[in-house]
Structure formats: C-alpha cells, structure tokens
C-alpha cells in the first residue's frame, strides 16, 4: 500500500478551451480498489483518458508506476496500465482469441511475434474470465456480458499492474453487472492488481470498492471509505436531488435510495399532520407529505423500524420507543401531546397487536380529524381489540377510511379546496 501506482499532482485537462478537470490531486496505492464517482460531466472519463494517453494534461503531472506519464510511449504505457471501456463493439469478424491476443501487442515488435508464452498467457486470461469456451466464436456475436468478459481477458493478457475501468457495467443486466464486478474483485484480491473504476452506480461502488473518490466540478470532493463518502450531504450536493442513505443489511455498506428530483406541488396551507405508524408501511406517505410542505409528526415508533429510519432521514419529529418493546401508556401520553395541535391524524397501514394498540388510545380526545388505512384491519392481531377500539372511537368522533395513499392524498386535496371555498 506504500508505493503510489497512480499519482496526480494538480492535474488540469479538458477539450479545447473547456477545462473538465481543474485541479486533481490524488494518489492510488498498490493493490487498492478505488471507485471513481461523480455526476455526468464531472470528468471521470476524462481522468481515465488522461492516464491512458488519449488526452494530454494542460497543467500538473500524472505519474504511473513511478514514471512520468507524459514521457511514456504508448507501448510502454500499455505494459503498465490496461483499460476496460464501457460496452465495446467491433464491426469486423475477429474471434475471441484474436481480441484477447491483441492484449499482447505491447510485447510484440518487428522481431518478436506471438510465441508459445503469449498463447499461454492468453489461455490463462480466457480461463480466468470464463471465456475459453467461445475462443473460436466471433466477438461481435457475443452478448454484452460475454463481450465485457472478453475485454477483461484482453486487459489481463496485457499483464499490467493497473487496470482502469470506464463504467464497465453500464449496458449490462444485473447478472452480468455483478459477474463483471466479482471478476474485478477477484483480480484485485488474488492478483493484487490496482483497480481504478469509474462507476455510475453508487451502490455498486459502495459494495465492491474499498475506497471511493468523488469528483465534483473537476476536483476531488470527497475521498475515503464508502461510509465516509456516501453520505446524504455528499450525495445531495452531487446529484442535486432528494435521496436517502441507508445501511444495506446484507453487505453492511451504505446504500443510496434516490427519492425525487422534481418538487412536489406544495400544499396551499401548512397544516400539521400526525401519523400513527411504526412498521414499514408509512414511508412513502411520510416522505410525500413532508415534500408537499406539511408539518409532519409521527409516533409511537419502535427504533429500528423502517418508518423510524425514514423519520430520522427526513427530520420528522416523533415519539420513539426501544425496539420490540410495547407502547406504554406513558409513551402514548407523549404521543398525544405531540399530536394535540394536529389538524389531521392518520393511522397508517400498521399491523396492530396487543403491544401497539395503545397507539390508538385517546385519539378521540384530539381536535384533529381521524383518517384510517383500511388495510390495517386485515393485519389485526389483537383478537378483536382493534375493532372494539375503533367502534369506541367512532362513538365520539368520525373516522374516515381510505384504501391506499393516493386515495388519501385525493381526500386531502378535496378537503383543502372545499375548505378554501
């Protein structure tokens, strides 16, 4: 990890007058697996072009394996760095073996033609990428995922220390996306190859890369582990949209959930809506009401439930209780306090049991109108307690029932227009 395989010192580069990279300083050590992220046009691909010699830098210096990149001949560079572009077409009938053999070009000269050693290296590269079975087939007859494996084999045949990947998985289906990423991970772990991959898919980068570099406006904006880089603040500034970061439970890596780019139509009056929720069914409604500009509160939520996470993400004030603990009367009193000024109280699609039936106590004493998600009735584990509670509430207060969240929004809109008249 000590030796820098790729070093950028204040690099600036671009096309014509336009500078895409303004000031890049970055060091990638041996054996690292670095994901390069950034929105469209932030210069990720330009960076790859600068390293691979397609574009010369305007200012600054790039060092590849300790050698000044500007002084390298194409052939020498191709022995140090291999490039895997995004989906790649060839119009001519080259066989898979022909294409992989092209990876040996840097080692060929007028005197030296393909020898036994080269054929062995090509064979190994095809075996490593599981492409040896289509050795004789034409490259342009293969599917996108197979092609990408062949190109990866070609890069392996180059026997370089560094592999650059430019969106290697775009245009592939998820099977082939994961397959390609797993192959790259294997190369990184088993062959100790240094990997720098431009990735569009943040979740893919988070899952596979040990280090993520985020570019913005032609400079390095953030650099660190997935956890350090993939934060809501970074991502929102990168993509200029509303999104959510949560921990993927399977890979224990941060995961991005894009929410919306366009602003929701704002409610005419800012009213207070309180949600009774606490499982995993209210997230969408919470987010949408929040986006429309309502003052949203919620309770009583068990910590760790999806609805709770959503409230944390959106900054919605809520009454919370520890995981898997019943809603006590004390907590419900807190909850009632939070909703006492609410214009509306919405009971979301929550499975009711003895533990959380308390959530419904005292609602009839509140001033807000009560709305109830019909589906909650079909997840009733109270042995009739829920229905009795509703009947009791109905004696003193009207309960409006709704079927899904669109219907509720429709009711809300209707009521607002009527209220306005």
Partner 1 sequence: MKKINRNRGIFLSVLVCLVIVYVCTVTGIAAISFEDASRILLHEVLHLNVSMEGISEGSILIIKDVRLPRVVLGFLAGASLAVCGAGFQGIFKNPMADPFVLGVSSGAALGAAIGIVFHFGTMLLAFAGAFVTIWLVYSISKVGKKVPVATLLLSGIAVSQTLSAAMSVIMILNKQSMDQIMFWTMGSLNGKGWNQTLMVLPYVLVGMVLLFTSARELDIMLTGEDTAVQLGVNVEFVKKKVLFASTVITAAVISVTGIIGFVGLVVPHMVRMVAGPKHRVLMPMSLLFGGTFLIICDTAARSMATWELPVGIITSLCGGPFFVYLLRKMKRG
User: Hey, which residues between 199 and 218 contact partner 1 (CB under 8 A)?
Assistant: none
Q: Which of 49, 21, 72 is nearest to 198 (CA)?
A: 49
Region near partner 1 per CB under 8 A, out of 102-110, 177-185, 217-225, 226-234: 102-110
Q: Is 70 in the site for partner 1 (CB under 8 A)?
A: no
Report whether the peptide linkage leading into residue 300 is cis, meaning its omega lies within 30 degrees of zero: yes
Backbone angle region of 391, left / alpha / beta, with phi > 0 → left and psi within -120 to 50 → alpha: alpha
Stretch near partner 1 under the rule CB under 8 A, chosen from 97-105, 170-178, 190-198, 267-275:
97-105
Smallest separation, CB 274 to partner 1 (Å)? 59
By CB under 8 A, tell whether 3 contacts partner 1.
no
Angle between helices 174-190 and 144-157 (to 10 degrees): 20
Least distance from C-beta 73 to partner 1, angstroms? 7
The answer to whether 87 touches 152, Cβ cutoff 8 Å, is no
* Sheet with 295-302, edge to edge strand ranges: 318-321, 295-302, 272-276, 344-347, 369-373, 399-402
Minimal distance in Å, beta carbon 75 to partner 1?
A: 4
Least Å from the CB of residue 92 to partner 1: 4
Shortest Cβ distance from residue 36 to partner 1 (Å)? 17
Task: Extract the tokens encoding 218.
Answer: 């032609």
Closer CB to partner 1, 167 or 349, in the complex: 167
- Shorter beta-carbon distance to partner 1: residue 97 or 307: 97
Pick the stretch among 106-114, 177-185, 212-220, 221-229 that binds partner 1 (CB under 8 A): 106-114
98 sits near partner 1 (criterion: CB under 8 A): yes
Which residues from 39-58 bind partner 1, rule CB under 8 A? 52-54
| Separation CA 384–CA 420 (nearest Å) | 39
- Identify which of 67, 50, 99, 79 has the alpha carbon closest to the alpha carbon of residue 163: 79
Length of the chain: 421
Q: Under the criterion CB under 8 A, does residue 161 sit at the interface with partner 1? A: no
Owner of token pair 């490259």: 139
| 73 binds partner 1, rule: CB under 8 A | yes
Give me the least distance between CB of 235 and partner 1, in Å please. 31
* Binding residues for partner 1, total number by CB under 8 A: 31
Give the x/- contact pattern for partner 1 in 76-95, rule: CB under 8 A: xxxx-xxx-x--x-xxxxx-
Task: Answer yes or no whether residue 5 interacts with partner 1 by CB under 8 A.
Answer: no
CB-CB contact of 119 with 157 (8 Å): no
Residue 116 beta carbon to partner 1: minimum distance, rounded to whole angstroms = 15
Query: What is the CA 91 to chain-centroid distance, rounded?
Result: 34
Query: Alpha carbon of 221 to those of 3, 164, 233, 273, 367: distances in Å?
Result: 23, 20, 12, 38, 49
> Binding residue for partner 1 (CB under 8 A) from 2, 136, 322, 418?
136
* 158 in contact with partner 1 (CB under 8 A): yes
Nearest distance in Å: CB 84, partner 1: 9
Question: By C-beta, is 81 or 256 nearer to partner 1?
Answer: 81
Q: Give the residue with the Cβ less far from partner 1, 101 or 256.
A: 101
Separation CA 162–CA 195 (nearest Å): 6
Find the binder of partner 1 among 14, 19, 60, 108 (CB under 8 A): 108
Residue number with CB closer to partner 1 (93 or 228): 93
C-alpha–C-alpha distance, residues 375 and 404, integer Å:
8
137 binds partner 1 (CB under 8 A): no
Closest distance to partner 1 from the beta carbon of 49 (Å): 8
In the complex, the residues that contact partner 1 under the rule CB under 8 A are 52-54, 73-79, 81-83, 85, 88, 90-94, 98-99, 102-103, 105-106, 108, 110, 136, 154, 158
């Amino acid at each position: 990890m000590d030796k820098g395989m790729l070093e950028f010192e204040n690099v600036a580069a671009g096309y014509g007058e336009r500078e895409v990279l303004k000031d890049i300083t970055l060091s990638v050590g041996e054996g690292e697996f670095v994901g390069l992220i950034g929105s469209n046009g932030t210069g990720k691909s330009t960076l790859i072009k600068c390293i691979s010699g397609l574009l010369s830098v305007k200012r600054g210096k790039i060092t590849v394996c300790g050698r000044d990149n500007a002084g390298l001949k194409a052939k020498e560079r191709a022995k140090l760095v291999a490039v895997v572009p995004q989906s790649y077409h060839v119009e001519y009938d080259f066989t898979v073996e022909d294409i992989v053999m092209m990876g040996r070009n840097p080692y060929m000269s007028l005197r030296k033609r393909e020898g036994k050693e080269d054929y062995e290296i090509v064979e190994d590269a095809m075996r490593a990428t599981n492409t040896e079975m289509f050795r004789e087939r034409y490259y342009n007859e293969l599917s996108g995922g197979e092609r990408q494996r062949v190109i990866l084999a070609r890069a392996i045949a180059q026997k370089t220390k560094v592999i650059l990947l430019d969106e290697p998985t775009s245009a592939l289906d998820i099977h082939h996306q994961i397959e390609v990423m797993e192959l790259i991970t294997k190369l990184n772990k088993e062959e100790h190859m240094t990997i720098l991959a431009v990735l569009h898919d943040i979740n893919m980068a988070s899952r596979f890369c040990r280090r993520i570099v985020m570019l913005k406006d032609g400079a390095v904006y953030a650099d660190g582990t997935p956890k350090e880089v993939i934060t809501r603040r970074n991502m929102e500034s990168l993509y200029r949209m509303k999104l959510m970061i949560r921990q993927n439970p399977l890979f224990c890596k941060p995961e991005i959930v894009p929410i919306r780019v366009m602003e929701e139509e704002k409610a005419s009056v800012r009213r207070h809506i309180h949600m009774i929720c606490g499982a995993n069914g209210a997230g969408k409604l919470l987010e949408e009401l929040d986006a429309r500009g309502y003052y949203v509160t919620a309770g009583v939520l068990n910590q760790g439930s999806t609805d709770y996470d959503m409230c944390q993400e959106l900054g919605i004030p809520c009454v919370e209780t520890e995981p898997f603990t019943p809603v006590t009367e004390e907590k419900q009193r807190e909850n009632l306090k939070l909703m006492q000024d609410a214009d509306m109280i919405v009971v979301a699609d929550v499975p009711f049991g003895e533990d959380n039936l308390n959530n419904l106590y005292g609602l009839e004493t509140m001033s807000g109108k009560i709305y109830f998600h019909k589906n909650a009735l079909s997840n009733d584990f109270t042995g009739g307690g829920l229905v009795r509670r509703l009947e009791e509430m109905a004696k003193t207060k009207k309960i409006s029932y709704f079927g899904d969240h669109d219907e509720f929004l429709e009711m809300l809109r209707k009521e607002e227009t009527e209220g306005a008249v």
